[in-house]
């Protein structure tokens, strides 16, 4: 039986990131994610003997962790060759041999492009030592909603149909379940929306290219985009998504997920019915029983 085609083209993603880095990576979005990741990690007071930077497109996250003094040793899994301690690889195929090696695994702007996110999370979970922490920020489903809508309408008008041009991203409602299925304890997911404004849609497209975030779908259309479709998409974008000053909105949704490798020291949820104090007592209020059916 033939396996289904992958959603993304990993080799193309690596080439796009390498090209973006050579041309001058647009790091405004990555910088925002790295700042937030540092803030979230600051709430955990322990040091980490061995950490893994999982696929972040630039080495800045690894550099920040080393400079923080909280990580004794760090391994970086990079999408492109960097030399030094970096290892080139894919986030969904960890090349680190025996499981339970790392005390911390962090990732920024990388996991939105894996073909098997559930499998990648399972591998991360297995790579962590007991009570090890996983913390990652990736793009979510509301990302580039304006661009997707503009291209969908433009292609329908000019070509009589639509082709996949913007990758589908993970949805917040799914990630908590994926963390639990992967075996993480105390899973937490939340979202942050970043709105960036542009003078025209072409400036947004240039930034996407400079972040290595252009279309890398395996089943992408291989023929060049028609100029008529591109110009119509730009018109629709300006018509539907401009502010009062004429500048255009572009949405980036950042999904945050964190979880711990299970350990006996971690807090466990109480079993249903095991509470020893009524909620009314805890809140300092009187308890009022609702009447049963048939009672007046």
- Give the per-residue pLDDT at 6: 81
- Give the per-residue pLDDT at 275: 53
Low-confidence ranges of the chain (pLDDT < 50): 1-2
- Give the per-residue pLDDT at 2: 43
- Give the per-residue pLDDT at 177: 93
- Give the per-residue pLDDT at 50: 96
For 286, how many CA atoms within 13 A lie in the half-sphere containing its CB?
A: 3
């Amino acid at each position: 039986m033939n396996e289904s085609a992958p959603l993304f083209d990993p080799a193309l993603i690596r080439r796009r990131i390498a090209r973006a880095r050579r041309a001058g990576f647009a790091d405004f979005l990555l910088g925002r994610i790295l700042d937030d990741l540092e803030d979230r990690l600051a709430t955990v007071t322990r040091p980490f003997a061995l950490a893994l930077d999982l696929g972040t497109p630039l080495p800045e996250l690894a550099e920040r962790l080393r400079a923080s003094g909280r990580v004794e040793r760090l391994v970086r899994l990079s999408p492109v060759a960097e030399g030094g301690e970096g290892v080139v690889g894919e986030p969904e195929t960890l090349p680190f041999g025996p499981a339970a090696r790392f005390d911390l695994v962090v990732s920024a702007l990388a996991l939105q492009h894996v073909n098997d996110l559930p499998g990648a999370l399972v591998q991360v979970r297995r790579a962590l030592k007991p009570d090890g922490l996983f913390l990652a920020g990736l793009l979510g489903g509301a990302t580039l909603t304006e661009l997707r809508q503009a291209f969908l309408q433009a292609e329908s008008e000019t070509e009589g149909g639509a082709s996949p041009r913007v990758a589908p991203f993970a949805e917040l409602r799914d990630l908590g379940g994926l963390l639990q299925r992967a075996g993480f304890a105390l899973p937490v997911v939340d979202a942050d929306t970043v709105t960036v404004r542009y003078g025209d849609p072409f400036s947004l497209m240039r930034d996407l290219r400079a972040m290595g975030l252009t279309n890398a779908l395996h089943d992408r259309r291989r023929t060049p985009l028609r100029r008529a479709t591109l110009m119509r998409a730009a018109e629709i974008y300006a018509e539907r998504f401009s502010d009062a000053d004429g500048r255009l909105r572009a949405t980036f949704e950042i999904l945050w997920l964190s979880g711990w490798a299970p350990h006996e020291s971690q807090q466990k949820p109480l079993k249903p019915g095991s509470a020893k104090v009524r909620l009314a007592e805890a809140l300092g209020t009187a308890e009022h029983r609702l009447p049963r059916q048939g009672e007046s």
